[in-house]
Amino acid sequence: MTRKTVLWCITVFFGASIAFQAIKSATQDSPEGVSLGLQAAALVLMIVAVVLIVRRRT
pLDDT of residue 58: 73
Please count the structural domains in the chain: 1
Q: The domain containing residue 34 runs over which residues?
A: 3-57
Q: What is the mean pLDDT of each run of 10 residues along the chain (58 residues)?
A: 83 91 94 94 90 83
CA-wise closest residue to 48 among 6, 3, 12? 12
CA 3 to chain CA centroid, Å, is 20
Listed in sequence order, the residues at least 6 apart from 54 whose beta carbon sits closer than 8 Å to its beta carbon are 8
Tell me the pTM. Answer: 0.75
Round to whole Å and give the CA distance between 52 and 44. 12
